[in-house]
Amino acid sequence: MINTMIFDLDGLLIDSEKISYRLYRALLEIYGHRFTVEEYAQNYSGKTGVGNMTSLIEVFHLPITLEEGLSWVKEREREYMSGGVDLKVGVKELLEYLRFHGYHMVLATSSTKDRAVGVLKAHYIEGFFEEMVFGTDIERGKPNPDIFLKACEKAGRLPDECLVLEDSEAGIQAAYSAHIPVICVPDMKRPGKEYEGMAEALFDSLLQVIDYLEERAAD
């Protein structure tokens, strides 16, 4: 029986993937490279900042170190997010529903702790999550299953007691590899057929997750 919900952050709870794309595009433009939304969604969405920057440097042969790239992105992300970042549709409704019905809630994000907690606090939703796992807590990021297995461990739950909510192909693969059922609410890209087959369902918004849980409870 599912009693625990594991949430991704970027692209699922907050509308931040577009900001990440703009940051990477701006960095690559400095060195004369084009970077499309499709490239970002296919290869970088849902993954750690360290992993993404390492890939960008290697793929585009950027003449910078990993530390320089991460520092550049972190500094400009503050500017991009200074006006705040919106919650996705249905976030507060779903969190309130889950709390009312006694679900355990865990955040499992590729983001850093200070960034993730800062965003949650800004929207007054930090208190909904009993545990949190960050990109720095694991060695291998998505699509490896480590982050979700760590979330189960911290929550003291078995994989079949949990349900992962994700927006990206990398996140779907990570949950599937961890043997945890996953629902996808796509953000910048609808997952390919292979990944659709790994998911329990694909929804347009988090509000539909409430309907899904209501139907399961009625069975």
pLDDT recorded at residue 79: 82
Name the residue ranges covered by the structural domains of the chain: 4-15+85-218, 17-80
Higher-confidence residue of 95 and 84: namely 95
Two tokens at 6? 């594991």
- pTM (2 decimals)? 0.85
pLDDT (average), residues 198-214: 97
DSSP for 1-51, please give it.
Answer: ---EEEE--BTTTBS-HHHHHHHHHHHHHHTT----HHHHHHHTTTS-HHH
| Cβ proximity of 127 and 102 under 8 Å | no
Distance (Å) of CA 216 to CA 158, 191, 219: 19, 24, 5
**pLDDT tens string 4-63:** 999 999 999 999 888 889 999 999 999 999 999 989 988 898 788 888 999 999 999 999
As a whole number of angstroms, the distance between CA 86 and CA 75 comes to: 20
| Cβ proximity of 147 and 141 under 8 Å | yes
As a whole number of angstroms, the distance between CA 86 and CA 16 comes to: 8
* Number of other residues whose CB lies within 10 A of the CB of residue 15: 16
Architecture label for domain 4-15+85-218: 3-Layer(aba) Sandwich (3.40)
pLDDT bin (cut points 50, 70, 90) of residue 179 is very high
The answer for 32, left when phi > 0, alpha when psi is -120 to 50, beta otherwise, is: left
Two tokens at 79? 């500017």
Residue 154: burial class (beta carbons within 10 Å; 0-12, 13-18, 19+): middle
Strand order in the sheet with 104-108: 131-133, 104-108, 4-7, 162-166, 182-184, 201-202
What is the biggest distance separating any 2 CA atoms in the chain, rounded to whole angstroms?
58
pLDDT recorded at residue 73: 93
Q: Residue with structure tokens 């990944």?
A: 195
pLDDT recorded at residue 188: 83
pLDDT bin (cut points 50, 70, 90) of residue 189 is confident
**pLDDT tens string 85-138:** 899 999 999 999 999 999 999 999 999 899 899 999 999 999 999 999 999 999
